[in-house]
Structure 1
C-alpha cells in the first residue's frame, strides 16, 4: 500500500501526539530482535512509511548494563529492562513458578541475552519443511538469509556456509583459559568430536562459539539494524509505547491502540500491522484483539474477530541446569566477581574495550547426541570457566567451572493464555516441563553425559569435586527430582503462533499473514513450528530477514543446496 501524502518522521518523541492523524504503510509492534531487522529492511524504500512502537525504554549508548557483555546478569530481573514474567505453577516441577526474563528495551531480548549466536541444526529446518505448506522453510531456503544477515569474522570468505557482509558482526570466543583447554580435551576423551564451526557444515561436536559481541560491546539487533538507519525520514521509532490492541474494520487490521509513557490511549492507522512482540506478547496481543479460541475469549468478555484456536498453543522452550565443579587451581574467573576488582575491570572495558568485562564468558560449548536413536544432537552444552548462577550468585565463593545443559527438542508443549482483558496483566504461561516420557528420559541422559565429560582425566588437575547437584544425586529419580527443584529456563520461548496450514496454525508460511484476517502479520519466535536446536536469537533474525522479502513481495533469495553433516547417511 502506498499513499500520496508525504511527511517527515524523525527519531524523537516530541511529536508523538500527531501519530493518530498519520497513516503508515507498516506499523511494527515491538522494537526487539525481529522488529529491528524488519524496520531496517522495510524502510529501505524511501516511499514506504514505517512506525516502530516499542513498549520498553531506549537502549541508551551510555547504558553499561546493556552494552558491557559481562554485565548481562544485571538487567535480568530489573523492572527497567525486563518484563519479569513467571509461569503458572509447573505441575512436574513441584509447583514452582519458573521465572522468565524478556527484554523491556529497544532491541528486546537481544539487549539482555547471553549474546550466543547459534543457527540450530540444519535438520531443524528439514523438520519445519516436512510440515504441510512449509516446503520453502527447509535449510536450503533458510541458509541464504543466515548468510545475508551475518558478518562472520572467524570463517573463511569462501565458506559457503557463512556470510561476511551483513549487519550482524560475529566474534568467536577465544576460549583461551586452561579450563577451556581441559574441556575440549575431556569431550574427546568421553568420545565426542570437536567441530570447526557449530554454525557451519557440522553442528555436532564442540568448539568456540560465535557471539554477538563487537569490539568488546554487545551488538544487539537494535545496534546492528535499527540505529544505523534511525535517521531515515520515512522511519519513526517511539519507545515506551505500549500497544494494547490491534484495531480491526471487520476482519481487516487498520491500526493499533497504544499508550505512551502510561498516558491516555491513542490510535494510529496502518496499511499493515506486523506483530514482533515475541512468543509471549504476540499471542497475548492477538487474544486481546479478538483472535484466538472463541469460547475462551468470550468467557473473558473479549469481542471475537476470528476464531483461531492455535493462538497461544504449542508453547516450547528449553530448560537447563548448571552442573558445577570446584577447581583445585586458581584459574577460574571467580576473583572478578569481587567488588574490589570491579573498578579496574570497568576501566579496562570503558577505555580499552578489553578485559573480563568485554566477554560474555559463554565462549565455548557444543552439541551431542545422548543416545543412538536420535538423528541429530539433542543436548546443548555451554561451558563456563566459573561456577556461578545466571543471576551472578556463586554457590561457594571459590574457584570452579560448570556446564549449562539441557535437552533441545523436548516434546513437552505448553500454552500462553490471557487471564484478563487488561493488557497490563501478564498472561498465564504453562510450559509443562518434565511432563513427557521423552523429556524425562533425556534429562537423565543429559546429566549423565555432563558428568562423564567433567570427570574425564583432562580435568584431574582441576577437579575439586562436584558442587551441583552433588554426589547425593545419583539415581534416575534423584536426577529428575533435582532438575525439578533446580532447573531454570534457557529463555527460548517460541512456537505460540506457528506457521503452517493445519487447523492449529496461526500464520501463513508464504506471506506471514495471520490466517482468517487481512492486514495483519506476525514475525518473531512465535511463528516457529518447532523450537530449534540451540539458542533461538539467530533463527529469529533469519525469519525476520526472510519475512521482509515475503512482505515486500520481492523475489526470495535462491536456495543454496549445501550438503551438511548427517549422523545417518
Structure 2
C-alpha cells in the first residue's frame, strides 16, 4: 500500500493549488490523483484550442443532465475538465472574481474567514497581473492574468460604444473597485499560452521529490476506519490500487465528481445510499444538493462589417491565424473568443449588478455533441450577444444512478424554477433588445439570425429563453459550506461534517454562486484550503 501524508483527489483548478502549496515546504508527502491525462498537449495550451476539447472525451467528462422540465424536456450538455488543470485547461479563460458582496454573503451564512477582506489578499497572492501589483491585484503570484486591449477584434469597440449610448460606464477592470459597466475581459493567458491552474501551480512543482502526480487514475472510493478517512482506492490502467493518507484526504474533483465520490463512499443521504446497497458512513443529506449554475441566453446577428468569422472560417484564414500564432504567439488563437462584456443592473433600485453580458465577435450555430463548432465559425460576418443572470436562486441536485463508479451521476439542474430567475432572465433579454436598438448597433446589425424571440413581451422572451438557454458551465454548491450539518456538507474549514481527516476544496463548497465566471473563485478556494490545512487560515 502506498503511503503519503496528504492525498489530493482531482488535479483541477483547486486541486493543483492544494497539491502545490502542501508540497512547497518539502516536509509533506503529497499524492495528486487525476482521472484524466497530462495537460502538456498542443490544443490544451493554445488559448482558442478549447474548441478542440469541447467534445473530446480524452480530456472532458462530457456530462449530460437529465431532461429539464423548464426547458420543455431539453437536456443540458456539461463539459467538465478531465485533465491536469481540470476545467481551467478547457475553459474560455475569462478571469472574474465576483463581487465583494458575494463573499460577504458567504461569511454572513456562517462562514467566518470567507469575507471579502479575507479573500482579497489571497487573490493578490495568487496573481501576477499584467498591470502589476496594486491594491486590487498581485504582481508576482503564480497565475498570470492578461488584460488584452489593442489585440481584440475592432468590433468590440462598437459594442462598448453601444453600451455607452445606453448610459453604461466604461469599466477597464471588472476585478477592481466596481463591477458595474462595460469593458473587455481579462484572461488567464501568458505569452500566448493558456495559464491553467496546472501550468501556474503544478508545472513549477513537478520535480519536487515529495510530490507524486498520477494521471489516468480515477478514484473510486474513500477508505475509512470508523469515521476517519485514511486513504483512497483508485483505478489506473485497469488495475485497482490503494493509497493511504496519514494526515488528510482532500477532495478537489469538482462540483460533479466530489459529491459523487462522497456518495460512493457512504457519505450522503443514508436512505438513498442504502437503496443502492451502499453502507452509510455518515448521514449527510446535503451531499449532491444545493446545485446552482449560470444560464446563458442570447442572439446572433449578421454584421455589416467583418468579424472573426471572416478571419477564421476560410481555410486560408485558419492557415494565416495558425502561422501568426506559431511565429509570434499572437493573433486570435492567442485570445479568448469572449472578448468584451459587462455587468448591468436590469432595473432601478438594485444595489449591485445582477446581469452579466457577453460579446463575442464570432458566431457558430450550436452543434450536437461530437462536433467542434468553435473551430468552424459561420461562413458570414456575424457576432454573438448574450446575457447571464449573476445570482440565480433556483436549486438542483445530483444523485447516483448506481453503486458503480463508472456510471455518470443523475444531474438535475433545476433551471428557471423561481420567479426571481425568470424575472432576471427576461429583463436581461430585454436589455439585449435595447442594446441592439442603439444607433451604433443599428449600423452594425444587418439582420437577426433565427432563432429570435417572437416578440418583446415577457411571455415571448421567457419562451425564447426556455427554448434556447444553455449553461455557462459554472456548476457549484453540491458540497455546500456552512455550520449546519443538516443542510451543509463541509464546515468553514472545509472539513466534512462528522468525518475526520477529510476535506473538500473546489467549487462544490460555494454556498452561493459568485457574480460571474467561476474559475478564479475555484482557484482561490484552493489557496484558502491550503492555508486552512497548513494552519495558516
How far off its partner does 1:277 sit?
A: 0.4
Q: Distance in 2 between matches of 1:236 and 1:282?
A: 21
Aligned to 1:164: 139
Aligned to 1:485: 467
Superposed CA deviations along residues 23-77 of structure 1, whole A, max 9, x for unmatched, are 10100000111010111100012120000000001112xx222111122111011
Aligned to 1:506: 489
CA RMSD of aligned residues (A): 1.5
Q: Distance in 2 between matches of 1:426 and 1:374?
A: 40
Task: Give the counterpart of 2:435 among 435, 442, 453.
Answer: 453
Task: Give the counterpart of 1:265 among 236, 240, 249.
Answer: 240
Q: Distance in 2 between matches of 1:435 and 1:388?
A: 29
Alignment of 1:255-404 (within 5 A): 255-261=231-237, 263-271=238-246, 272-389=248-365, 391-392=373-374, 397-404=379-386
**TM-score scaled to structure 1, two decimals?**
0.90
Task: Give the counterpart of 1:83 among 51, 61, 75.
Answer: 61
Aligned to 2:526: 544
Task: Give the counterpart of 1:233 among 190, 209, 212.
Answer: 209
Aligned residues: 528
How far off its partner does 1:264 sit?
A: 2.3
Q: Distance in 1 between matches of 2:298 and 2:450?
A: 7
Larger displacement relative to structure 2 (420-429 or 179-188): 179-188
* Residue 68 (str. 1) matches residue 58 (str. 2): no
Q: Distance in 1 between matches of 2:377 and 2:45?
A: 26
How far off its partner does 1:396 sit?
A: 5.4
* Cα distance change, pair 468–536 in 1 and its aligned pair in 2 (3 A): farther
* Residue 136 (str. 1) matches residue 113 (str. 2): yes
How far off its partner does 1:474 sit?
A: 2.9
Q: Which runs of 5+ in 1 are unaligned?
A: 1-19, 557-569
How far off its partner does 1:481 sit?
A: 1.6
Q: Distance in 2 between matches of 1:118 and 1:217?
A: 19
* Cα distance change, pair 42–484 in 1 and its aligned pair in 2 (3 A): same
* Residue 57 (str. 1) matches residue 37 (str. 2): yes
Task: Give the counterpart of 1:253 among 229, 237, 253.
Answer: 229
Q: Distance in 2 between matches of 1:543 and 1:305?
A: 26
How far off its partner does 1:373 sit?
A: 4.2
Superposed CA deviations along residues 514-566 of structure 1, whole A, max 9, x for unmatched, are 00010100000000000100000001111111111110112x4xxxxxxxxxx
Superposed CA deviations along residues 382-403 of structure 1, whole A, max 9, x for unmatched, are 2111223573287852101222
Superposed CA deviations along residues 289-310 of structure 1, whole A, max 9, x for unmatched, are 0000000101111010010011
Superposed CA deviations along residues 431-478 of structure 1, whole A, max 9, x for unmatched, are 111111111111110111012113211223321122254363433222
Q: Distance in 2 between matches of 1:454 and 1:70?
A: 27
Superposed CA deviations along residues 70-94 of structure 1, whole A, max 9, x for unmatched, are 2211101111111010111101101
| Contact residue 174 and residue 363 of structure 1 kept, 8 A | no
| Contact residue 453 and residue 460 of structure 2 kept, 8 A | no
Aligned to 2:387: 405
| Contact residue 309 and residue 381 of structure 2 kept, 8 A | yes
* Cα distance change, pair 162–300 in 1 and its aligned pair in 2 (3 A): same
